[in-house]
Structures are given as C-alpha cells and as structure tokens.
Structure 1
C-alpha cells in the first residue's frame, strides 16, 4: 500500500507486499498568489523542504556506489500467483511495487514527510491546497520505450480507484476532478475538504502504461509480466517459488538526484521458503545474501557458525527513529464474543508480557502502549492543554477513563502477579455479565461459553500464544489456536474471517489519509481494508478527519494524540512489544552507506563490493 512508503521501513518489501502507505508549505521556492502558484521541485508536509532544487543526492546514500552484482533474498511465504500488487485478488510477488513502478514524486527518508519530483519534474500547489498540478518530465519513459504522459497518470488514478484494491478508493476519495491539460501536464482538483495532504499522496500514484492495459483485464492479469516505469523489470520467475528483477540499463531517471546512489544491484532475486528455520539455515549456508531477523530467540541463539566466526557474515542491530506503530493481539469486534469493551479489557490481563520477554525474547523488547509508539505522536499521561481541548468536545460520547486514567497495558513487572491480574480479569468479566459454571466461563443470561479462536500463519508465534491460552483457561475460557498457510491467512484476514489475530499496524511520522483505512466506520465491511478490529465509533471517525485536516505540525501532533488515547481506551488490541533497532545479518559481499536515515536501513541504498 502506498502510505507505507511514508512509514518508512523499506525492508518490509522483503516479505509480502501488504503494502503496505498533509500538508504545508510547498518548497523553498516562494509561492505567489493562490491563483497562480509557481512550479516547485517538491512538497513538504509541514514546513520547508530539506533539499534544494537540483540537489545532487540524498545525504544518506553513497552517490559513487558502484553498479553491479546480484542481491539474493528470501521470502517466507507460500508462494505468489500475481505480478499485480494493486488489486485485492491473489498474492503479489515480493518486490513488484517497489522495483517495477515509479511514482510522480519520491519521498525522502530523513524528513517527516517530504516528496521530490520523479516522473513529475515540478508541481504547482496553491496556498489553500485546493488542487495540484504535476508537470511531467519529457524524458520519462516506460520500460518499453514509450513516453510517460499525463494520459497514463489519469489512467493510473482511474483504474486504481475503480478496479484496484479498496484502499485506493479511500486514499484518493477527496479527488473531485482530474484534468489532462496537455500531454505532460495534469491537474487534480479536490472537493469540499480541508485535506491538505492530498497533493503528497497523489504524488505517490504508481504510474502504469495505459497502452499496455488497453486490451487486458486489470484484476485478472495473474503472472503476465507487466510493463513498468521503474528501475527494474521482471527478468524471470518460477511460479510461486522465485522471481528475479533485472536493472533497466537505460533507466531514464538514473541521473536524477533522488535516484543517484540508489538501486545499485544489477539483479535482485527472491526465493520463497515455506519454513523460516529452513530459510535461516539456507542463509547461513550462503544461499542468499541478507536476512532481516524478526525472532528474538533466533537473534540471540541462532546466528552462529563458520560464517560468523571468520567474519564472512556481519550481524548488526541498527538503530532507527521511525514510529513503531502497534503490534498486538487484535480483537475482531464484528464477532459477538468481542463486542463488549469490558471483555476485551479483561482478556488483556491474561497476557504476561514480562514473562514472555524474559523467557522467550531474551529481554530484547519494550512494551508498547501507543498506536504511534516511538514518536512524538504518542499520547502519554493524562490529557492536557490543546489535546484536552480537543477531547472535551466529545466528553459526553467518551469513556470517562479517557480523562481520568492513564492507559497502561496490564503488567506483572511492578510486583503484581498473574494471579492478581486474573482476579482483575474475573471482576471485569462479571461486570460484563459472565460467570463460571462447571469450570467454564459462560454468559450469565444466555449460558453461552466465552470461547474464541486465534488465527496464525507463523508457527514461531505459537510459543507466545500458548502461554496466553493457558492463562485464559484458568478463567474457564476456551481458546483454540489455528495455524494456516500464508495464502489462506491473507484471504481470511481480507474477509475478516477470524476472531483474533496477531497483527502489526504500522504508522508514519505524518499520519493522514491512511487513518481512514485503519479506524473509520466506512471501512468496517470493506473486504481488504485495514480496519481489522471493526472500529465503528463516531468520535474516532471525527478525530480521523481532524487528523487529515490538520493545518500544521503542532496541531497534527495534538490531534493524533487525542485519536491515540481514544483508541487505547477502546481496548481493540492487547499490545505486544516493539524494538527500536533493525536486526540484520548479511554476507560481506554487501556494503551499505555510512549514514542511516531516521527511517532505518534501506536495501535500495546498498551495493555489492567490486
């Protein structure tokens, strides 16, 4: 998904493409009257751009990085069946959206949210952000040599919002009119909205060739190799098992400042593994070049052997400063069992993070207590100042705890025992109308047992879920754990066919339109939306719109904190943990820049040693 480009961790493209995606002053150039804005080379969400016009390269790349070599990567999943990452049908091959398609603008990784011209040489935006005009580069070309035109941009927007993943309809919902002014100039007008982020998110449109799709069905393209606009094309593939990308020799954007020092590998190959343990051993045997580790146990115990002893493999935990978002056990509130917030809150007392961190994770993690963790957007303490003013307007619609209680996930790290926590859980369940009969937790009026299923696709996560289940069983709650393959998991999550899942809800430094996907009631029943929890709350809806309409950075922070606080007190997830470092291991044929941007490691800036 597009907003994940803002969210920043470029290594997520190693796994599956979930994709996985505001407003302010335009650039360092001065902007005349709103009726006649000057063309500028980029747009910043708030404030000014860091990089001037005609800058030579980003500060976090090596502009002299050599081109060449092959990067071999692994993907732990049950294969792929599509090269179209923009539709809800099928599972797209890793890397397609990242490497095959360019966008109008390109984000930098060392600013909260700024974009610079890629396919678009310049943009024109009035002060009120009521429209945006993109002026395309004359030299921009598709991989078949055809010029990229405004007609292609119009087509891309239209096909994404009519036949693409539902995400795009929400993301670009406020566009009221699209006008092709000439072959290299296109204008987007916005409806009655204060959504000042729109020019930037329109800059993220992946541009596709209208001529290629003229006689093809967008949703059913399957494994037909597409014509793209990006730095790589699909060279070869083995259905469901591997895909190889080849760098475009005559790539039209090679010498632009936003591309210099990037996309240095001649070839990038992804191989699919069904089992993560097999993938790890394959990496240690030298069958692929780099691995991003998500398991604390593996990181602490499995990275040993000859390659590490003789220095052929480097193991690094590289610090980053991007928002960590929220990972947790996600309740599907569409299910009757999880309708009551008291029930959801009660179940959180059965998860013992401190025990898991100590016994399973080698004390590597920190507990998460915000949807915008590791950023200034996270709420803390009790609401005050401007944040309190915002929340006061909804006081009669909110849980009083929003104003009186500091949200803290249940813990056993403060001298409280699991027995104490389960006693609290029992009290909350009794308040919700439950009682224990014959050793089973049942609803007092209906006699229906409190039972649910946890859906997983990663076997390694069973070691986290099973102790949680054991604690719940002590309350008389029946919990089943179902492990399915990744393809079935994706489809069931798309259809909201689950009771509880473990899920990551990534965030960026600059939340905006994508917040509708996560929390807005309009997406409760939209298959494929990221409103996994089924949040349907008029206050949340209004706060989401306020976040999207934030006029400046300070107001954005206050509004996001208010949204964060309301979501936390809605008890839609049982928070897990986060890590402020990227754990990577790589064979020493690879080299990376000396500077790591705040968003963390980006493989697209690495290269193979000559």
Structure 2
C-alpha cells in the first residue's frame, strides 16, 4: 500500500488549478467520457466509423507469439500468462481508436460524473451477462476493483491510488469516490476495469497462477489450451454485447488460435509455411530481407507499411540505477554517447528508423529547444537540483557520419567517465579501487544480439567490458519483475494524454515494487514533484507544460540510451482477409478484420495447386 500513500502525498503537495464548485450541481450523465472535451460520437451512434458493420462472422485465424505460458490469469505477477487470456473479459467502457483519450459505455450504459469531480458512477446494462448466463452485477465490479488493487500487478495500486472507496448502490449501480477532484483521467482508468465474476474466484487464490479455464463475459471464451504451446479463443455466438454500437463490426473470427514459438526466427518460418496467418513486424532486417519468399512473389502473402498517428514513446538500452555502477549521471551519459545510431541505422536497419529524442516522441508532448515561459517558470524553482545545461542547451543526441568510427562521442564519453572517477589502465576502465567496469546486457530474443554486439564493441573502446546474455521469455520476465539486470532493451509506451501511469514509470515509491513499471529505478525529487502535476493538469495547455518539463528532466537524467522509432506499422498476412476501408489512427485494428470467404477459397485453391 506504499504506492497509494505516495500518490496521496504527491497530490497533496501539487498545485491544483481551480477549486471544486461550492454549490450543488446536477451530475453529468453520458454515454462516454473524453479528456479532450465532449465525446465526438453522439449517444445514438450506430457503430464506430472505422469498422464495417456488415462484416461477416466466421473462420479461424492463427497468430504467433514468442515464449511460453503457464497461467490463464493475466492480472498478477506470478506465472507467465497467455496474452489471449485477458480478452475474455468485458470492461466498463471501451476505447474509440479514432479519438484521443475517449471511451464509450460497454458494460456500463451510463457514466455519471458529479459536478465536483470527486467520483464517478457506472450503471450497468441490464442485459450484461457472463458466459454462463448469470448477470454482471455491481458487486462483481466492486469485487474486481478491490481484488485487482490488493492482489493484482503493482500498476493497479498505482492507477487506483486516488480512489478512496468503491460502493454498491444497487444491483447495477456502482460508485467510486475519489481523494481529489484533480485527477481527470481517473474515470477513464476505472472504465478500463475488467469485470471478473466473483463467484468463479471464490475458493481460488487470485494471486496464484491459474490453470482452470476462467469464466468471462466478453466476445470470446477460452477453448482448447495446450499450456506452453497454444491457446484458442472461441467466439461466443450469443454474446450479450454483440449488438452494442461499440461492438458492431468487431470480433469477427469464430476462432483465434495463438501458437507459441521459442524464438522469432522459428515464428517467422511458421508464417512462411502458412501455419500463421498474420504477423506484425518490428525488425527492420526482417522487413527488408525476410519477405522475399515464393508466397509473397505470387501474391498469396501481402506485405504493407501503414502510417499511424500515435505517440511512439521511448525505446532504448535501459540502465538499472539500482546498481551502483549506473548511479552517476555522467556514467550514464557516457554510455549513451558511445552508441552509434547512424551506423546501426545504415548497416542493420536499412535506413528505416528515426532516432528517438524524447520519452513522448512523435507527438506534441515531446520537449524541444530550451525551456521557455511557463515551463521555465516551473523548472526554475528546482534549478539547483538540475543539470545547468538543461536550461541553456537543447537536448541533442550525437550524430555521427555512420562510418562506425565514433571518435567524438567516445572522446566526450571518456572525459565524463574520468570526471566520475574512472581511469583506463592496461586498456581496461577501472575505478579508484582498481575494479573493472563490467556489466551484462540482458536480452529476451536472439534478434537483438545483432544490435547489442556492435554496442559491446563500441563500449570496449572505452575500456568497458560488456557481456551479452539472451535468456528465454519466462526467465527474462522474472528478472524484469525482480529488477535482476544491469542493462536491457526496454520500451516505455506513452499515450496522447499521460496520467496516472507516470507514477509507476518514474517515482521513488515505485522503485522496489516487484513486477512494477519503474524499470530504470528512477528516484529524483524533481521527477517526484513533476509527476503529480502531470496527473492533475487542469487542461491541455497545463498538461503540455508539465509533460515537456518531465520529458526534459528525464532526458538530461540519461536513464536510457535512446534508440529509434517507426512512424508506420509493418504487417504481413496471407491474403484471406477482408478489412474496413476507413483509415484508423493506430494504422491497424485487427479485431475489425474478417475472413473473406472468396479470398479464403482462392488461397486454399492456390495452395493445393502447389508451386
């Protein structure tokens, strides 16, 4: 419960724009909630504009995953859950992928927000049912909330820290009361709550891996399970929500089978052999070279690059500052200067990537230049605790000529290491006690070795001995959960409206939570002061100011060696699908696709015909 106390203390110290109304006003009752004003779609909207409401149902699709699984409970730290297991549950609201930070009622037909914004109420639809035909009740909602907060992954405690209580006010009405009126995102966070059936879990230990098939209420139920190898979801034909506006044109496959493979190379071969129908690619080398096989040449497999309009967050080599080796900012900066992105992009990635220079890249949330105006006033109060260059220099990553001879970056890095007390002796970097600078780069897939090994060589020019170790997916996840690593490749995702998740990403109270999200162990008083101001920002202008400031402080903290991002989605699929013609902000929403009977028949005929 320490994280709840942390959030409370932080918010108590944060300036809150405006006070709640002193006089009683009627609550706002709506079909949806948006952080950016009123929802774009009216109460009587028939379906999302980016779907085909007449999409046919039927067919089976095979997807691929790397790793393994031993549990059907995706809400806890223990065990490794099948990713598909969470899809059997309905949530109170669902997101419209073509609006920024907007959700519409799903289990809840009405969302009610009081004038003082000190809570939210959800009124469940009377037709909402679990797969066994029993109703979804307010008691199930409250039980789910309490259980996830108390026994679920640490992020639930972080997200729900400002909720003082959840109360049943009727069979279908549940009220959440808040600690503060300033956390604007909280109604949407609660709208994302997966509602679990209380009676299924009675007599079971929620915080232990689950091997029994759980009961859900969503468009799919779990069918055949072969632990560690495959899991199949089966569409529920009489699903209670099939005619809702938020469901029309979605969830069209009768069966979704996910096959697990030991690594990405095997998964790729399975796709080429037709064992997998669809894959999303994130390896530039694969995209450039691995899709020139006969089925692509014959047009049986389609390959597409689709532009998206989403923030890309940060990917990079993350340093675990819980380790003494990485606690000096100058050391972290030196390791970042040693990375030659231009060489890697030209020689490993076929020039496909853009260097990432913000934790909120590809959005207006990214900082730039030097702090000005309101952002400068915000940061100026902590001037003595921040690097002086933060105020005088734009944050810029080094740019090389791509030759692989990054002499300037290595020279600057070595100077920083010497300032931090490291010297080179016998071509080895050592501290004042003569101990060498050595650490391990932990990887989850062999694919990343082609990036890690050149980086290892560049570090060796500084006298640093880095080893590269690849472990299986289960071991990798366990080591992340317990922070048992020196450096690893990490992705910090971001949305267009950062909020409560930033507490888990960056604050001191999240440093030691097993299975938490503060993977670099960031613990900085300035960050701890900025995060609650992000959470409580009263409008978009204030949010941009505080996020720009947070981004700048994190960048100058050098917690990661920034990598790259892609502004498109790469997909490849066997040509047996139909999909909506309307574009959508993420580029692809696979749940809106369907099996085309005509294309599927033609594909099967072509396969039977052989070469």
Deviations 1:278-302 (A, max 9, x none): 2112111111110111111111011
| CA positional deviation for 1:214 | 1.3
Alpha-carbon distance change, 495 to 448 in structure 1, aligned in 2, over 3 angstroms = same
**1:44 pairs with one of 34, 40, 50:** 34
| Aligned-residue CA RMSD (Å) | 1.7
- Please say if 1:427 is aligned against 2:426: no
Structure 1 equivalent of residue 64 of structure 2: 74
Counterpart mapping for 1:188-199 below 5 A: 188-192=176-180, 194-199=182-187
| CA positional deviation for 1:415 | 9.7
Deviations 1:545-582 (A, max 9, x none): 00000111121111111100000000000000000111
Q: Distance in 2 between matches of 1:261 and 1:130?
A: 36
Counterpart mapping for 1:444-463 below 5 A: 445-463=432-450
Structure 2 equivalent of residue 309 of structure 1: 297
* SS of alignment partner, residue 83 of structure 2: coil
| CA positional deviation for 1:483 | 1.0
Q: Distance in 2 between matches of 1:539 and 1:278?
A: 45
Deviates more, 1:382-391 or 1:585-594: 382-391
**2:544 pairs with one of 557, 564, 567:** 557
Structure 2 equivalent of residue 83 of structure 1: 72
Counterpart mapping for 1:39-188 below 5 A: 39-77=29-67, 79-97=68-86, 99-188=87-176
Deviations 1:229-287 (A, max 9, x none): 11100011111100000001111111111110011101000001112122112111111
Deviates more, 1:184-193 or 1:149-158: 184-193
Task: Give the conservation status (yes or no) of the 8 Å contact 2:117–2:181.
Answer: no
Task: Give the conservation status (yes or no) of the 8 Å contact 2:285–2:349.
Answer: yes
Q: Distance in 2 between matches of 1:162 and 1:94?
A: 22
Q: Distance in 1 between matches of 2:281 and 2:329?
A: 34
Deviates more, 1:595-604 or 1:508-517: 595-604
Q: Distance in 2 between matches of 1:431 and 1:166?
A: 38
Q: Distance in 1 between matches of 2:402 and 2:416?
A: 21
Task: Give the conservation status (yes or no) of the 8 Å contact 2:234–2:256.
Answer: yes
Structure 1 equivalent of residue 495 of structure 2: 508
| CA positional deviation for 1:127 | 3.3
Deviations 1:207-237 (A, max 9, x none): 0001111121112242110001111000111
| CA positional deviation for 1:193 | 5.4
Alpha-carbon distance change, 441 to 216 in structure 1, aligned in 2, over 3 angstroms = same
Task: Find runs of 4+ consecutive structure 1 residues off by over 2 angstroms.
Answer: 31-36, 413-417
Structure 1 equivalent of residue 221 of structure 2: 233
Deviations 1:291-347 (A, max 9, x none): 111111111011012211221111000100110000000000000100100000011
**What is the TM-score normalised by the length of structure 2?**
0.93
Structure 1 equivalent of residue 554 of structure 2: 567
Q: Distance in 2 between matches of 1:325 and 1:531?
A: 15
Q: Distance in 2 between matches of 1:345 and 1:220?
A: 41
Structure 2 equivalent of residue 243 of structure 1: 231
**2:355 pairs with one of 346, 367, 374:** 367
* SS of alignment partner, residue 291 of structure 2: coil
Structure 2 equivalent of residue 587 of structure 1: 574
* SS of alignment partner, residue 557 of structure 2: coil
Alpha-carbon distance change, 269 to 106 in structure 1, aligned in 2, over 3 angstroms = same
Task: Give the conservation status (yes or no) of the 8 Å contact 1:102–1:230.
Answer: yes
Q: Distance in 1 between matches of 2:525 and 2:83?
A: 37
Unpaired runs of 5+ in structure 2?
A: 1-15, 598-611
Structure 2 equivalent of residue 498 of structure 1: 485
Counterpart mapping for 1:504-543 below 5 A: 504-543=491-530
Structure 1 equivalent of residue 211 of structure 2: 223
Task: Give the conservation status (yes or no) of the 8 Å contact 1:379–1:564.
Answer: yes
Q: Distance in 1 between matches of 2:381 and 2:110?
A: 41
Q: Distance in 1 between matches of 2:193 and 2:428?
A: 53
Task: Give the conservation status (yes or no) of the 8 Å contact 1:521–1:541.
Answer: yes
Q: Distance in 1 between matches of 2:402 and 2:487?
A: 28
Task: Give the conservation status (yes or no) of the 8 Å contact 1:129–1:199.
Answer: no
**2:190 pairs with one of 178, 193, 202:** 202
* SS of alignment partner, residue 512 of structure 1: coil
| CA positional deviation for 1:35 | 4.1
| CA positional deviation for 1:128 | 3.2
* SS of alignment partner, residue 122 of structure 1: strand
- Please say if 1:484 is aligned against 2:471: yes
Structure 2 equivalent of residue 345 of structure 1: 333
Q: Distance in 2 between matches of 1:598 and 1:391?
A: 33
Task: Give the conservation status (yes or no) of the 8 Å contact 1:34–1:126.
Answer: no
Task: Give the conservation status (yes or no) of the 8 Å contact 1:308–1:314.
Answer: yes
Q: Distance in 2 between matches of 1:379 and 1:237?
A: 46
| CA positional deviation for 1:394 | 2.1
| CA positional deviation for 1:513 | 0.4
**What is the TM-score normalised by the length of structure 1?**
0.93
Alpha-carbon distance change, 414 to 453 in structure 1, aligned in 2, over 3 angstroms = closer
Unpaired runs of 5+ in structure 1?
A: 1-22, 25-30
Structure 1 equivalent of residue 603 of structure 2: none
Q: Distance in 1 between matches of 2:590 and 2:343?
A: 34
